[in-house]
Amino acid sequence: MCKKTLLSFIMVLTIIACKKQEKEQVTKKAIVTNMIQPTTVSEVTLASGELKRIDSFPSKYITPRPIDVWLPDGYSNQKKYKVLYMHDGQNLFDANTTWNNQEWKADEWITELLEKDSIHELILVGIHNIPKIRFFDLFPEKAFDYLSEKVKDSLLENGKKQEVVVTMDTFKGDEYLQFLVEELKPYIDSTYATKSAREDTFIGGSSMGGLMSMYALCEYPEVFAGAACVSTHWSGMNPTTYKNPVAKSILAYMEANLPSPSDHKFYFDYGTETLDAFYPKYLTDVDRIFDKKGYNSQNYMNLEFEGADHSENSWNRRFDIPLTFLLKK
């Protein structure tokens, strides 16, 4: 066999092998998708729309958990919808089904804004938290890169004193985002009538969920266009710690990794009572970082709500503001 013929034969075998691998990957993806069977949730009272739930969404990155998908009235496969992903999904829709009898009133606000034609039509995806590991799932993991080894060791040692066995591997913020971007979003985009581009994809949450939403835009600026970061827990850990090194590391990470202001939006806010009382002191630093990057009032907000505390009952009084800021027509 001549050299030219041999090379041609090898190329043909390579192409066949690649096509076989692609077919296997597509088949595997289809099998996984078929295993995910959403059901309609009847026990949740909604202002409008329909709620679908996957009881245990499979993942190779994080602990499987329920996922809720809220579809607006008149949802149709003939249309295309923007998508808002939110953390702590079990707290979004009905106070009668939440641990503290409070809710975001997400369906009420979206319904009202849609009826007023104030925002684009959207699908809301709620990612349930698992209380015991919520903190570790939602902590912006790469912020630890801005801490010295001495400080890291001290933090882990303090955990042991409180009888909490924690290592750096316990933190799963990066894996949580991999789950969202590589597993959940592809499923949502292939199952529902979504607009899947960056300019149509948003993320939001409160407290640690606010931190994770900021982190998502910094880590995946090609995936998300905007973040709603409500009562963002800038302190990261214990808010009473004097000269908190974790808070400084989070701000340092954000300053080094903020995406371009030309195609991204950030909404932040904070109250002045209970846990939120610890957040105003970070206002100056946060504003400085965004101003230095070139953000302005068109793509950045950081609002104070006097008298508001750290609860869904406070967040549900102002959720229309981030919704309108990110999704305004």
Q: Is the distance from CB of 65 to CB of 72 less than 8 angstroms? A: no
pLDDT band of residue 25 (cuts 50, 70, 90) is very low
pLDDT exceeds 80 at position 19: no
For 277-294, the pLDDT digits (tens) are 999 999 999 999 999 999
Mean pLDDT confidence for 178-185: 98
User: Residue 307, Cβ neighbours under 10 Å: how many?
Assistant: 9
Q: Is the distance from CB of 314 to CB of 271 less than 8 angstroms? A: yes
Q: What is the pLDDT of residue 33?
A: 57
Hey, what domains does the chain have and what are their CATH numbers?
A: 39-327 (3.40.50.1820)
Distance (Å, whole) CA 95 – CA 38: 22
Mean pLDDT confidence for 23-27: 43
Mean pLDDT confidence for 306-310: 97
Distance (Å, whole) CA 23 – CA 28: 8
Mean pLDDT confidence for 302-315: 97
pLDDT exceeds 70 at position 59: yes
For 210-219, the pLDDT digits (tens) are 999 999 999 9
**Phi–psi pair at 81, nearest 5 degrees:** -120, 145
How many residues are recorded in the chain?
329
pLDDT: which is higher, 82 or 158 = 82
Return the CA Rg of the chain: 22
Q: CA triplet 34, 38, 41: central angle to 5 degrees?
A: 170
pLDDT band of residue 5 (cuts 50, 70, 90) is low
